[in-house]
Chains A and B, each alone.
Chain A
Amino acid sequence: MTMAPQLPEKHYLNETYGIRSWLLTTDHKRIALLYLFSVTLFFFIGGFFAMMIRLHLLTPSGYLLSADAYNRMFTMHGVAMIFFFLIPSIPAVLGNFLVPLMIGAKDLAFPRINLLSWYVYVVGAVFTLYSMVNGGLDTGWTFYTPLSTVYSNSAVAPAVVGVFITGFSSILTGLNFLVTIHTMRAPGMTWFRLPLFIWAHYATSVVMILGTPVIAITLGLAAMERLFGLGFFNPALGGDPILFQHLFWFYSHPAVYIMILPAMGVISELIATFARKKIFGYHFVAAASLAIAVIGFLVWAHHMFVTGQSTYAALVFSFLTFLVAIPSAVKVFNWTATLFGGSISFDTPMLYGLGFIGLFLIGGLTGLFLGSLGTDIHIHDTYFVVAHFHYIMVGGAIMGYLGGLHFWWPKITGRMYSEWLARLAAVVLFVGFNLTFFPQFVLGYLGMPRRYHVYPPEFQVYNVMSTAGASILAIGYLLPMIYLTYAAFYGKVAGSNPWPATGLEWQTASPPPTENFHVTPTVTWEAYDFHNRPELGLEVPGGAAHAPAHGDD
Chain B
Amino acid sequence: MQLPLPFFPEQASNFAGNVDTLFSFILLTCLFFSVLVTLLIILAALKYKRKTPGEVGSADRGNMALEVGWTVIPLVIALGMFAWGAAVYVNYRTAPKDTLDIYVVGKQWMWKLQQPNGRKEINELHVPVNRNIKLIMGSEDVIHDFYVPAFRVKMDVVPGRYNTMWFRPTKIGKYHFFCSQYCGTNHAIMGGWVTVMDPAEYAAWLSDEGGALNPVSAGEKLFSQLACNTCHLPNGTGRGPSLNGVYGGKASLADGSTIVADEAYIRESILQPKAKIVAGYQPVMPTFQGLVTEEQIMNLTAYIKSLQTQPVPTKGAGVVPAAAGKK
Residues on B with beta carbons closer than 8 Å to the beta carbon of A450? 180, 182
Which residue, A152, A240, A343, A372, has most C-beta atoms of chain B within 10 A?
A: A372
Residues on A with beta carbons closer than 8 Å to the beta carbon of B183? 147
Segment among B156-164, B199-207, B239-247 that sits at the interface with chain A? B156-164
Flag A336-350 by CB within 8 Å of B: 1 or 0 each.
110111111110000
Pick the contact of A277: B58, B87, B158, B188 (CB < 8 A): B58
Residue A540 CB within 8 A of the other chain: yes
Q: How far is the CB of B141 from chain A (nearest CB, A)?
A: 6
Residue B62 CB within 8 A of the other chain: yes
- Contact check, B187 vs A71: say whether CB atoms are below 8 A apart: yes
Residue A333 CB within 8 A of the other chain: yes
Residue B215 CB within 8 A of the other chain: no
**Given A381-B181, A456-B176, A306 and B154 contact (CB-CB distance below 8 Å):** yes
- How far does the alpha carbon of A277 sit from the alpha carbon of B18 in the complex, in Å? 46
Residue A479 CB within 8 A of the other chain: no
Residue A419 CB within 8 A of the other chain: no
- How far does the alpha carbon of A365 sit from the alpha carbon of B37 in the complex, in Å? 12
**Given A344-B48, A445-B23, A381 and B154 contact (CB-CB distance below 8 Å):** yes
- Contact check, A326 vs B19: say whether CB atoms are below 8 A apart: no
- Contact check, A67 vs B60: say whether CB atoms are below 8 A apart: no
Residues on B with beta carbons closer than 8 Å to the beta carbon of A86? none
- Contact check, B44 vs A322: say whether CB atoms are below 8 A apart: no
The residue on A at minimum CB distance from B34 is A361
Residues on A with beta carbons closer than 8 Å to the beta carbon of B33? 361, 365
- Contact check, A368 vs B37: say whether CB atoms are below 8 A apart: no
Residue B173 CB within 8 A of the other chain: no
- Contact check, B44 vs A138: say whether CB atoms are below 8 A apart: no
Q: How far is the CB of B52 from chain A (nearest CB, A)?
A: 7
**Given A336-B37, A374-B84, A277 and B26 contact (CB-CB distance below 8 Å):** no
Residues on B with beta carbons closer than 8 Å to the beta carbon of A144? 142-143, 181-182
Flag B167-190 by CB within 8 Å of A: 1 or 0 each.
000000000101111111111110
**Given A322-B79, A339-B44, A146 and B71 contact (CB-CB distance below 8 Å):** no
Q: How far is the CB of A48 from chain B (nearest CB, A)?
A: 21
Residues on B with beta carbons closer than 8 Å to the beta carbon of A369? 23, 26-27
- Contact check, B7 vs A442: say whether CB atoms are below 8 A apart: yes
Pick the contact of B179: A322, A326, A343, A449 (CB < 8 A): A449
Flag A363-380 by CB within 8 Å of B: 1 or 0 each.
001101101111111101
The residue on A at minimum CB distance from B73 is A329
Residue B86 CB within 8 A of the other chain: yes
- Contact check, B50 vs A344: say whether CB atoms are below 8 A apart: yes
Residue B22 CB within 8 A of the other chain: yes
Q: Which residues of chain A from 385 to 428 have a CB within 8 Å of any chain B CB?
A: none
- Contact check, A322 vs B163: say whether CB atoms are below 8 A apart: no
Q: How far is the CB of A330 from chain B (nearest CB, A)?
A: 6
**Given A342-B57, A378-B154, A362 and B34 contact (CB-CB distance below 8 Å):** yes
Residue A19 CB within 8 A of the other chain: no
Residue B74 CB within 8 A of the other chain: yes
Residue B309 CB within 8 A of the other chain: no
**Given A318-B85, A342-B44, A71 and B55 contact (CB-CB distance below 8 Å):** no
- Contact check, B23 vs A452: say whether CB atoms are below 8 A apart: no
The residue on B at minimum CB distance from A532 is B59
- Contact check, B18 vs A374: say whether CB atoms are below 8 A apart: yes
- How far does the alpha carbon of A311 sit from the alpha carbon of B155 in the complex, in Å? 13
Residues on B with beta carbons closer than 8 Å to the beta carbon of A22? none
Residue B89 CB within 8 A of the other chain: yes
Residues on A with beta carbons closer than 8 Å to the beta carbon of B212? none
- Contact check, B9 vs A447: say whether CB atoms are below 8 A apart: yes
Flag B100-131 by CB within 8 Å of A: 1 or 0 each.
00000000100000000000000000000000
Pick the contact of A381: B6, B41, B62, B145 (CB < 8 A): B145
**Given A146-B159, A151-B141, A374-B18, A329 and B70 contact (CB-CB distance below 8 Å):** yes
Residue B78 CB within 8 A of the other chain: yes
Pick the contact of B41: A67, A151, A354, A538 (CB < 8 A): A354
Residues on A with beta carbons closer than 8 Å to the beta carbon of B161? 235, 308
- Contact check, A147 vs B184: say whether CB atoms are below 8 A apart: yes
Residue B233 CB within 8 A of the other chain: no
Residue A29 CB within 8 A of the other chain: no
- Contact check, A368 vs B78: say whether CB atoms are below 8 A apart: yes
Residue A111 CB within 8 A of the other chain: no
Residue B265 CB within 8 A of the other chain: no
Contact-residue bracket for chain B: 35 or more
- Contact check, B89 vs A314: say whether CB atoms are below 8 A apart: yes
Q: How far is the CB of A327 from chain B (nearest CB, A)?
A: 8
- How far does the alpha carbon of A77 sit from the alpha carbon of B143 in the complex, in Å? 22
- How far does the alpha carbon of A546 sit from the alpha carbon of B59 in the complex, in Å? 7
- Contact check, B26 vs A342: say whether CB atoms are below 8 A apart: no
Residue A281 CB within 8 A of the other chain: yes
- How far does the alpha carbon of A280 sit from the alpha carbon of B66 in the complex, in Å? 10
Residue A278 CB within 8 A of the other chain: yes
Flag B36-80 by CB within 8 Å of A: 1 or 0 each.
011011001101111110111111111100110011001100110
Q: How far is the CB of B23 from chain A (nearest CB, A)?
A: 5
**Given A277-B57, A319-B82, A446 and B149 contact (CB-CB distance below 8 Å):** yes
- Contact check, A276 vs B55: say whether CB atoms are below 8 A apart: yes
Residue B305 CB within 8 A of the other chain: no
Residues on A with beta carbons closer than 8 Å to the beta carbon of B154? 306, 377-378, 380-381
Q: How far is the CB of A231 from chain B (nearest CB, A)?
A: 11
- Contact check, B57 vs A275: say whether CB atoms are below 8 A apart: yes
Residues on A with beta carbons closer than 8 Å to the beta carbon of B55? 276, 343, 538-539
Q: How far is the CB of B150 from chain A (nearest CB, A)?
A: 8
- How far does the alpha carbon of A343 sit from the alpha carbon of B41 in the complex, in Å? 13
- Contact check, A147 vs B7: say whether CB atoms are below 8 A apart: no
Residue A18 CB within 8 A of the other chain: no
**Given A358-B38, A372-B22, A241 and B9 contact (CB-CB distance below 8 Å):** no
- Contact check, A374 vs B89: say whether CB atoms are below 8 A apart: yes
- How far does the alpha carbon of A508 sit from the alpha carbon of B146 in the complex, in Å? 60
Residues on A with beta carbons closer than 8 Å to the beta carbon of B71? 326, 329-330
- Contact check, B180 vs A449: say whether CB atoms are below 8 A apart: yes
Residue B284 CB within 8 A of the other chain: no
- How far does the alpha carbon of A371 sit from the alpha carbon of B156 in the complex, in Å? 18
Residue A543 CB within 8 A of the other chain: no
Q: How far is the CB of A373 from chain B (nearest CB, A)?
A: 3
Residues on A with beta carbons closer than 8 Å to the beta carbon of B94? 311
Residue A455 CB within 8 A of the other chain: yes
- Contact check, A381 vs B19: say whether CB atoms are below 8 A apart: no
Q: How far is the CB of B283 from chain A (nearest CB, A)?
A: 35
- Contact check, A378 vs B141: say whether CB atoms are below 8 A apart: no
Q: How far is the CB of A511 from chain B (nearest CB, A)?
A: 25
Q: How far is the CB of B111 from chain A (nearest CB, A)?
A: 14
Residues on A with beta carbons closer than 8 Å to the beta carbon of B153? 377-378
- How far does the alpha carbon of A330 sit from the alpha carbon of B152 in the complex, in Å? 32
- How far does the alpha carbon of A115 sit from the alpha carbon of B67 in the complex, in Å? 41
Residue A357 CB within 8 A of the other chain: yes
- Contact check, A377 vs B19: say whether CB atoms are below 8 A apart: yes
- Contact check, A337 vs B59: say whether CB atoms are below 8 A apart: no
Residue B228 CB within 8 A of the other chain: no
- Contact check, B58 vs A342: say whether CB atoms are below 8 A apart: yes
- How far does the alpha carbon of A442 sit from the alpha carbon of B57 in the complex, in Å? 41
Q: How far is the CB of A204 from chain B (nearest CB, A)?
A: 22
**Given A343-B55, A378-B152, A538-B55, A451 and B187 contact (CB-CB distance below 8 Å):** yes
Residue A242 CB within 8 A of the other chain: yes
- How far does the alpha carbon of A319 sit from the alpha carbon of B83 in the complex, in Å? 8
- How far does the alpha carbon of A330 sit from the alpha carbon of B71 in the complex, in Å? 6
Flag A264-285 by CB within 8 Å of B: 1 or 0 each.
0000000000011110111110
Residues on B with beta carbons closer than 8 Å to the beta carbon of A140? 182
- How far does the alpha carbon of A496 sit from the alpha carbon of B187 in the complex, in Å? 56
Residue A547 CB within 8 A of the other chain: yes
**Given A144-B143, A282-B61, A451 and B182 contact (CB-CB distance below 8 Å):** yes
Given contacts A284-B67, A377-B152, list 7 more A-B pairs with CB under 8 A.
A282-B61, A332-B37, A365-B33, A369-B27, A378-B153, A451-B182, A451-B188
Instruction: Identify the 5 closest CB pairs spanning chains A and B, nearest first.
Output: A447-B149, A235-B160, A374-B88, A277-B57, A372-B85
